[in-house]
Chain A
Amino acid sequence: MAPRWMRRMQRRWQALRRKQEMEHELDDELRYHLERETERNLARGMSPDEARRAALVGFGGVARTKQECREARGVRLIEDILQDLRYGARMMRKTPALTLIAVVTLALGIGANTAIFSVVNAVLLRPLAHPEPDRLVRVSLQNLETDETHNPIGDADFLAMRDRNRTLAGLAVIYSPADGLALAGQGPPQKVPGAWVSAGFFEVLKVGAAQGRTFARGDDRSGGPNVVVVSDHFWRQRLGGDPGAVGRPIRLNGKAYTVIGIMPADFRFALTGQAEVWVAMTFDPPQSRPPYYLRCIARLRPGVSERQAQADLGAIAAQVGEQYPSSSFGVVLVDSLKGSIVGESQRALLVLFGAVLFVLLIASVNLANLLLARGTTRERELAVRAALGASRGRIVRQLLTESMLLASIGGALGLLLALWGVQLIDGLAPSDLPRLEEVSVDRWVLGFTLAVALLSGLMFGLAPALQLSRLDLNVAIKEGGGSSVESAARHRMRGLLVVAEGALALMLLTGAGLMIRSFVNLSQVDPGFDPEGVLSMRIELNQAAYPEDKQAAAMQEQILARLRSLPGVNHAALSMALPPNLLGMSNPYTVEGRALPPGQAQPVADQVLVSPDYFRTLGIALRAGRAFTDADRDGSPLVLIISETMARRLFPGADPIGKRIQTGDYDPRAPWWTVIGVAADVSYTGLGKEQHATMYTPHAQNAWSRSMYLTVRTTGEPLAQVAAVQAQVWAADRNIPVSQIRSMRQVMTESIARQRTYTVLLGLFGAVALILAAVGVYGVMGYTVKQRTHEIGIRMALGARRGDVLRMVVTDGMKLGLCGVALGLVGSIVLTRLMEGLLFHVSAIDPATFATSALVLTAVMLLACLLPARRATQVDPMVTLKYE
C-alpha cells in the first residue's frame, strides 16, 4: 500500500483537479442533510416553510460551512499558490521593464553559474567514467636529486612492478607522443592522435571493445603481434565504418599493424586525450633503467589502500634501483588517478566558481533593491490586502511567490544560456584542461541550476518581502502610492544592500586584478629567444624508410638545404625540443673528474639535440664560445653547448669552454663531449617555471631521433611561408608527415593559454561585477533623490546652493560606498589567499592591485552617485513645494 503521505498528496491533487466535481459532491451532501432535517421538522408538525427555515438555522451558514470543508480538505495552500502565481504573472506584465531587467540579470547570472558549474562538475566532481573508479591510481617516481615528483617510469620499473606486485589487480603504462602517430594511407601523410600502451591498459580500465577485442596478455612482449585498437571515430572516419574492419591492416609510423578491436563511441580516457588509436607497445628486456617516459596507471585489488600499494611497489622499485645503481629515481608514489588528472586545474576552477557565485550574489542584491523600490509603489495595494484580512505571512508568501516566479524564468533562460555557454567554454578553454570533453549538462547540473535559481529567488525576494509586509496600514492607505517619508528601517536595508554590493564587487575586482597582473608578468617573461618571424612545425622520418641514423641525418640535411634556398627564408634548423614548453628529453650527466661513486644519484639536465643553425634561427644569444657548425659532424670531435644556468652551477667563476662532460649514465669507457659555447637561458618547461640546466648537442653527432621540430626564420610573416616550406619538405620525401604548423608567436601564446583563459574569465566576472555594482548604486541613489525631492526643494528654498545639495547627496552615497570598499578590502585579504597557487610573481595581497581595485570601484561608485546628485540640484523649489 502506498504510504500515507502519498495517498494524501494524491487526494489533494485530485481535489484540485476534480474541483468542480468535489463542489457538486459537497452540495449534494449538504443538501441531503438539510432535506433530512426538514423532513424531521415536518414530522414534528411544522409547516413546510417553517421546517425548512428551522433546518437552515440549525445548520448555521451554508456558505461558511462549505468554505470550512474546502479548507479542511487541504487544497487551500495549493490554490493560494496558484492564485499568487497568476497574480505574480499579472504584476510582471504590468511592469515589463522591471521584469525584463530582472529576468535578464538572473538569466545571465544563473547561466554563467550553470556553465561554470557544469565544468566543475565534469572535471572535479564526477567520478572517472570507468568501473570502480576509486581503485584507479597513478604510479609515479620521485626524482631524489631534483625532488621533482610524479615523474614517468621506465621499462625496467614497469616490467618489475607488473610482474612482482602483490597489491594490484592490474598495472599498465602509456606513452602518448605529443604529435601523435604517422598514419600512411591515401592522400598526404598525416598524423593521428594516438598512444602506445602496454597490453594490460584496457584491463586496468575495465573496458571492452565494441567490436573485436582489446589487447590480450602477451600482445606487448618483444616480437609480439603488431596490433592496434582504434576509436569509434577512427573507425567511422578513416575506415569508412567498414563492418569488416576488425582484422584489417593499417600502417602506423611506417609499420603494418592489424586492427583487432574498435572501442565503444563513448570510451574516453583523460590521459590519452583525443587518442584515436591505441597501439600495443612491445618491451625488450631493458638494458638500463632510463629513459623514463612511461606514465603508469594501476587498479588496486579490493581492500588495498594506496599506501599499501605504495609500500609494495616501493620495495620493487628499490630492487630495480639496486640493479641500476646510478639511477636517481628512488621513491614510488601512488595516488588517486582522478586527482592526478584533475591536478592543477582544481584551484583555478574553484576560484572561477567562487567568482561567478559572487556575480550572482551581486545580481541578487541588485534585484532585492529593485523589488524594494518597486514595493514602495505597491504599498497601497498591499495595505488594502492587509486591511481585508491577509495575514503578514500571507503577504510575504505572495511577494516571495513573485520573486520565485522571476527566479524560475531567469533560471530557465539561464539554463538555455548555459547550454550555449558550455560550448563557448569548450572552445575557449585551454586544450590541456583535463576531462573537458566530458562537460555536459547532466542531472547534477540541472539540480544545481534549480537550487541556485530558487536560492537567488529567496535571497532577492525575502528582504523586500519582509520589509514591505511590515506596513503601517493607516499611513500606507492614506498616503497612497508615493509616500514621501521612507521608513527608517527600509532606508537602512537599502544602505546595507549598497554596502554589500560594494564589498562583493571589490573582492571580485581584486581577484581579477591579481590574475591580470600575474598574466602580464607571465607574458613579459623573457623566453630567452626571439619568437618573431619564426615558423615551426614537426616532421617525422619513417624508421622503416631510414633504418640507419646516417640516412636520416642526410635526409634532414637535405631538407634544411632546400629550405635555406627558399626566398624569404633566412635560417632553418631542426631540434628535438622547442621553447617555451616543449621539452623533448632530459638526461643525467657527469663532469670530467667529478664522477660520483656508484649508487649515488647523478645530476640531470635537459638535453636538446639541434642542427647547427638552431641558435641563429631562434635568436638565442651565445654568451661565450661558438655555435655548432656543419663541421661538427659524425666522426669529428664531440662538442657540447651548455646554458648559462648550467655553466654557473658547474663552473662558478671559471671558464667552462674546453671542459668535458659525459651525458647519460656514467661509463668510464664512454667518450667525453667538450664544451665549446655557453648559450643564453631558454625555458623548455614553460614560461615562468624554474630555469633548468640545459645542454645542447649536435644532432649530426647523434642522429638517432627521427621526429624533430623544424624551425624557419623568415623575413616576412612566417605563416605566409607554410605552403612553400611544406612543398620543400615533400619535395625531399613525399612520405614525411608535417604537423603542428604554428608560428613561434602562436607557440608562445598557446603555452600560456590556460592562464589566459582563467584571466579572461575572471576579468569578465570582475567587469560584470563592476557594472552591476554601478547600476545598483545608481539605482539606489536615484531612488533616494526622488524620495527626497520635497526635502531638497525646502532646503533650496531656504537658501541651500546647488553645490551644497550636490555635496549632500554624493556624501550620503559615498559613505555607503566607502563602507563597502573597506569591507571588501578585508574580504579580499582573506579570499585572495586562496589564489596563491595561481599567481605568478605577484603576492596574493599585492598592495598595488588592492589600491587600484579600490580606486576603480570608488571612482565608478562616485560616478554612479554624481548622476542622481546632479538631478537633485535641478530640483525647482517652487514646483516641488506646490506639488506637495
Chain B
Amino acid sequence: MSTGERKIDLLQGTLDLLVLNTLQGKPMHGWDIAQRIQQLSEDVLRVNQGSLYPALHRLVAQDLIESEWGESENNRRAKFYRLTAAGKKRLAAESKEWERFTWAVARVLQGS
C-alpha cells in the first residue's frame, strides 16, 4: 500500500519458489518468511498467510525443507524451516526455469 499500486497475489508454484529462495540463508519461521518476501519485493508481492503454511507443510512432505522447533528472537518457541540438499537442487532448477520463462515472456511482449 505504500506504493499505492495493487498488490499481486502469489500463485502456488511461485510461492514455493520464493519460500525456497528465502530459506537459502539461515533457518526461519513462518512469519519471518512472509515478512521477508514482502520486504524483498518492496511490498509488491503479498503473501497470503493462509496459503503459506500449507505450502510449508507440502514442501516438508516433499523433503525440500525440514523443520525444527527453536527459540525465536523474542525468546518464544517457534518452528524454524531449513533448506535440505534436495531443496537446494530444486531451487537451482526452478530459478533457472523461472528466468527462462520471464525472459521468454519479456521477449514476446517486446516483440508485439
**A-binding residues in B (CB < 8 A):** 29-31, 48-51, 53-55, 57-58, 60-61, 63, 69, 72, 76-79, 86
Contacts and interface: CB of A to CB of B under 8 A. Distances in A.
Contact of B61 (A28, A37, A61, A72): A72
Contacts of A25: 69, 79
A64 B31 CA distance: 18
A60 interface: yes
B80 to A, nearest CB: 10
Contact of A72 (B57, B63, B79, B86): B57
Interface string A355-385: 0000000000000000000000000000000
Grouping DSSP codes into helix (H, G, I), strand (E, B) and loop, the B interface class, with mixed when no group exceeds half, is helix
Contacts of A69: 53-54, 57
Nearest to B49: A59
28 contacts: A4-B63, A4-B86, A8-B63, A11-B61, A25-B69, A28-B77, A29-B29, A30-B53, A32-B29, A32-B30, A32-B78, A32-B79, A33-B29, A33-B49, A60-B48, A61-B50, A65-B50, A65-B51, A65-B54, A68-B50, A68-B51, A68-B54, A69-B53, A72-B57, A72-B58, A73-B57, A73-B60, A73-B61
A145 B61 CA distance: 77
A798 B29 CA distance: 79
B49 A58 contact: yes
Nearest to A67: B54
A74 interface: yes
B54 A8 contact: no
Given A7-B63, A25-B79, A74-B61, A32 B72 contact: yes
A71 interface: yes
Given A4-B63, A32-B29, A65 B79 contact: no
Contacts of A36: 31
A32 B31 contact: yes
A681 B53 CA distance: 93
Interface string A6-18: 0110010000000
Given A8-B63, A37-B31, A64 B77 contact: no
A33 B61 contact: no
Given A11-B60, A32-B72, A74-B61, 15 more contacts: A4-B63, A25-B69, A29-B30, A29-B79, A30-B53, A32-B29, A32-B30, A32-B76, A32-B79, A33-B29, A33-B30, A37-B31, A60-B49, A65-B51, A72-B54
Contacts of B79: 25, 28-29, 32
A29 B61 contact: no
B49 A64 contact: no
Contacts of A72: 54-55, 57-58, 61
A71 B31 contact: no
A258 B77 CA distance: 84
Among B31, B51, B76, the one with the most A-chain Cβ atoms within 10 Å of its Cβ is B31
Grouping DSSP codes into helix (H, G, I), strand (E, B) and loop, the A interface class, with mixed when no group exceeds half, is helix
A59 B78 CA distance: 17
Interface string A527-548: 0000000000000000000000
Contacts of A29: 29-30, 53, 78-79
A58 B35 CA distance: 13
Contact of A65 (B53, B69, B72): B53
Pairs of residues from A and B, 9 with the lowest C-beta to C-beta distance, nearest first? A68-B54, A72-B58, A72-B57, A60-B50, A36-B31, A69-B57, A72-B54, A29-B79, A59-B49
A42 to B, nearest CB: 13
Nearest to B30: A33
B75 to A, nearest CB: 12
Given A68-B54, A69-B54, A71-B54, A32 B77 contact: yes
B86 to A, nearest CB: 7
Contacts of B72: 32
B60 A59 contact: no
A60 B50 CA distance: 6
Contacts of A65: 50-51, 53-54
Interface string A52-86: 00000011110011001111111000000000000
Nearest to B48: A60
Interface string A32-46: 110111000000000
Nearest to A70: B57
A33 B51 CA distance: 13
Given A8-B61, A69-B54, A72-B58, A33 B31 contact: yes
A30 to B, nearest CB: 7
A235 to B, nearest CB: 60
Contacts of B76: 32, 35
Contacts of A28: 77, 79
B96 to A, nearest CB: 22
B50 A64 contact: yes
Contacts of B60: 11, 73
A33 to B, nearest CB: 5
Contacts of B49: 33, 37, 58-60
A30 B51 CA distance: 12
Contacts of A64: 50
Contacts of B61: 8, 11, 72-74
Contacts of A35: 76
A72 B53 CA distance: 9
Contacts of B53: 29-30, 33, 65, 68-69
Contacts of A7: 63
Nearest to B59: A72
A532 to B, nearest CB: 81
A37 B60 CA distance: 23
Contacts of B50: 59-61, 64-65, 68
Contacts of B55: 72
A155 to B, nearest CB: 73
A71 to B, nearest CB: 7
A69 B54 CA distance: 4
A71 B58 CA distance: 8
B53 to A, nearest CB: 5
A70 B57 CA distance: 8
A24 to B, nearest CB: 11
A853 B60 CA distance: 64
A707 to B, nearest CB: 77
A73 B59 CA distance: 9
A361 to B, nearest CB: 41
A32 B77 CA distance: 8
Contacts of B57: 69-70, 72-73
A662 to B, nearest CB: 90
A238 B80 CA distance: 76
A698 B12 CA distance: 102
Contacts of A37: 31, 49
Contacts of B30: 29, 32-33
Interface in A261-316: none
Among A11, A33, A59, the one with the most B-chain Cβ atoms within 10 Å of its Cβ is A33
A61 B52 CA distance: 12
A11 B66 CA distance: 11
A73 B60 CA distance: 8
A651 B54 CA distance: 100
Among B29, B30, B53, B60, the one with the most A-chain Cβ atoms within 10 Å of its Cβ is B53
